[in-house]
Amino acid sequence: MPQNKPLDIFWFLPTHGDGRYLGSAHGARAVDHDYLKQIAQAADSLGYGGVLIPTGRACEDAWVVASSLIPVTRTLKFLVALRPATTSPTVAARQTATFDRLSDGRLLINLVAGGDSSDLEADGIFLGHDERYDHADEFLEVWKRLLAGETVDYKGRHVEVKGARQLFPAVQQPYPLLYFGGSSNRAHDTAARHVELYLSWGEPPSDVARKFADVKRRAEKEGRQVRFGMRLHVIPRETGGGSLAGSGRTDQPARRRHHRHRTARARPDGLRRPAPHGELHGGDRSKLEIAPNLWAGVGLVRGGAGTALVGDGKIIAERIKEYAALGADTFVLSGYPHLEEAYRFAELVFPHLPLAGRDTAQLAAPGASRRRVAPMGEIVGYAQAPKAAQS
């Protein structure tokens, strides 16, 4: 990938709660619409391309949350989780088309076929690992054909419809882009057959390169091309020095014990093999930096993505560019708490990255538009204006 190819940077809506200290009630923030709206509007104005909205029994419903934020945002896209096993492809097609029209084409779909077994069983899903991907393949066959305008008769092992039809089209044709992550062989097959963008969790670049190459090879056999992206946490600071040490604030012993017990019952696909989300460091805090500036401490207290890029703005940007050189053009990021860290990341890292949809001349003041006076900052004594920050 060209070194200066524009990158899509997405942020995250914490529909399971937020706070500065992971795994602790200290300073925790409840999920309410006002707070989620603040994060979404910050991401929208700062120039993030979109926000990821997760799914699971610990989260507010992704579709309801995203729908509520359409009228209070302008260009922000919504990467909404869709778990095929919990709904029919016909209902999902109607939801997709309706949301896409009402948002004027701002919907993206995050396909979730895997997950923690206790979460799945609580939702009535008792399919085995490979069966979930078989079901997802059948689901997507019907879902895609409906959104392409076909009348569908289909009978598979898991999905059956007769005379199914989607009357109202989506804005994006033939359907909104599908995003997807998973590390198993079966997950890579589904990615190669169906999705437009494959997301990897934050692993060392050599491991990510192998995953991208494998998905690319399988997609080529299907006569398709797949884009690539990364799902990471970020801890940007003014200087790189205190960042890794400061990241220890996620270290909550009781939460770690609960998380180990939970993941021991059933691990998501990306955790079945040695991976940065616990297994590469074995809980040894001296081994949490699994690659330069890539810290695995988040995985001690949180399921799902468990690694963070840590450092000053230039360092984090360089690490992002390393993944971009492997083929990643989209980065879905989290920072705690999400409101403040959305600003911090934009202020410290955006000036060092080529961003899709952003004029790099404006990056000295993230969020500034041509209608605003720049440079931004307090005017001293009504006379002395601050100089623009040097990248």
pLDDT of residue 244: 53
Round to whole Å and give the CA distance between 107 and 355: 20
Per-block mean pLDDT, blocks of 10 residues, the chain (391 long): 83 95 85 96 98 92 98 98 93 98 98 83 85 95 98 97 96 97 95 97 97 98 98 90 47 42 36 42 70 93 88 97 98 97 97 80 43 58 64 49
pLDDT of residue 381: 62
Round to whole Å and give the CA distance between 244 and 305: 18
This prediction's pTM: 0.85
Residue 3 lies in a domain: no
pLDDT of residue 302: 78
The pLDDT tens digits for 196-209 are 999 999 999 999 99
Residue 42 lies in a domain: yes
pLDDT of residue 1: 57
Residue 29 lies in a domain: yes
CATH code of residue 119? 3.20.20.30
Kindly give the pairing relationship between strand 328-334 and strand 8-12: parallel
**Are 355 and 9 within 8 A, CB to CB?**
yes
Helices marked H in 50-159: 62-69, 89-102, 117-122, 129-147
Which of 85, 304, 72 is closest to 183 using CA atoms?
304
Residue 118 lies in a domain: yes
**Are 74 and 103 within 8 A, CB to CB?**
no
Kindly give the pairing relationship between strand 151-155 and strand 289-291: unpaired
Cα–Cα distances in Å, from 27 out to 203, 235, 236, 244, 319? Answer: 30, 18, 20, 21, 30
Residue 192 lies in a domain: yes
pLDDT of residue 258: 40
Residue 48 lies in a domain: yes
The pLDDT tens digits for 100-126 are 999 999 999 999 997 777 788 888 888
Round to whole Å and give the CA distance between 253 and 255: 5
Range of the domain at 187: 8-358
pLDDT of residue 318: 97
Residue entry with tokens 């840590």: 310
The whole-angstrom distance between residue 255's C-alpha and the CA centroid of its chain comes to: 23
pLDDT of residue 3: 61
Kindly give the pairing relationship between strand 227-236 and strand 308-311: parallel
Task: Specify which residues 62 forms β-bridges with.
Answer: none
In the chain, the number of structural domains is 1
